[in-house]
Amino acid sequence: MINIPGFRWRVVPPCLLTLTAMLAGVAAIVHALQGSLATAATFVFAAMLLDGVDGAVARLIKGTSAFGMELDSFSDAMALGAAPAIIVYKLTSNIALETGPAWLPNAGAVLCAMIIIAGVCRLGRFRLTSDPHADKGTYQGLAIGGPAGWVAIFTLCHATGVTLPFTTIPIAVDAGPFAVLFWTVLVVLPFLEVSSIPYPKPTKSAGKFALFALCLALTVAVEQARPYTALVLLVYGVWYALLSPIFRRFQKRELTPRSAS
């Protein structure tokens, strides 16, 4: 076996997972540019899952490293920042070609820039304030995977014609109530990324992460289950990104003892 001074073979498995996530992001970009948005969304999902696994594997086998953390940031910028941003631009361009106004691609370009800028700023702050060997239970600001997952789930539902269970309401991005929800929340998410709001780390609980991964897998692979699992993921996304910080804030106020008058 080759012995390189200062090299630890335990860092290899998590770094390979991180590089695979980056390649999934590249594949998502390529498919988005070719117009295969459902496939692009699937690769973003794959990158999200790998991003959740690589750090856990590194801590499990004691393979954490400063190099791995740097690599993870570059991977996230590509797979969870640039890829969903390009998907958003393609969505706005497609809508403009079909039914939307001519200025819509310009608005999509602005939103695309917001997603990328907020994502890299979020990653830069995380790099400066985090210990690669620590396993903290919270993030400062919404993680970059939040907007990426939001874009991917709506894109997949829109591209495959998913409707709300027991209704004919499409989970689409070009018209209807879900389109309003999608674009409104998507404008808010970049600001939450650069905020100081604490968010619990999704991978902290293995059970919750496994359930999340199962929902993603069913959404991608089982067409009959997609309306239900997609709805679960959408509800979870709204709760996690928008409502849970408000709930935790009020809960903290109630638990804080009031001083006597």
- C-alpha 234/C-alpha 3 separation (Å) is 48
Decide if 2 is inside a domain. no
- C-alpha 114/C-alpha 172 separation (Å) is 22
pLDDT of residue 261: 42
Closest-CA residue to 229 (of 169, 156, 173, 175): 156
Decide if 254 is inside a domain. no
Residues of the chain whose pLDDT is less than 50? 1-5, 132-133, 259-261
Half-sphere exposure of 73 (CA within 13 A, CB side): 16
Question: Measured between alpha carbons, how far is residue 126 from residues 58, 122, 149, 207 in Å?
Answer: 18, 6, 19, 25
Phi, psi of 139 (to 5 degrees): -110, 155
pLDDT of residue 3: 46
pLDDT of residue 60: 85
Locate 52 and state its tokens: 């959740």
pLDDT of residue 134: 53
Is the separation of the CB atoms in 87 and 159 below 8 Å?
no
Question: Measured between alpha carbons, how far is residue 142 from residues 111, 164, 186 in Å?
Answer: 17, 27, 13
Question: Measured between alpha carbons, how far is residue 191 from residues 22, 152, 207, 248 in Å?
Answer: 24, 19, 29, 19
Range of the domain at 69: 9-247
Decide if 256 is inside a domain. no
- The answer for 92, left when phi > 0, alpha when psi is -120 to 50, beta otherwise, is alpha
Decide if 34 is inside a domain. yes
Domains identified in the chain, total number: 1
Q: What is the CATH number of the domain that holds 117?
A: 1.20.120
pLDDT in tens, 79-106: 999 999 999 999 999 999 888 788 899 9
Which residue has tokens 């939001």? Answer: 150
Decide if 184 is inside a domain. yes
Decide if 179 is inside a domain. yes
Locate 92 and state its tokens: 């706005």
The DSSP line for 106-134 is HHHHHHHHHHHHHHHHHHHHHHHH--TT-
Which residue has tokens 């001083």? Answer: 259
User: What is the Cα Rg of the chain in Å?
Assistant: 19
Decide if 107 is inside a domain. yes
Decide if 185 is inside a domain. yes
| Amino acid sitting at position 229 | T
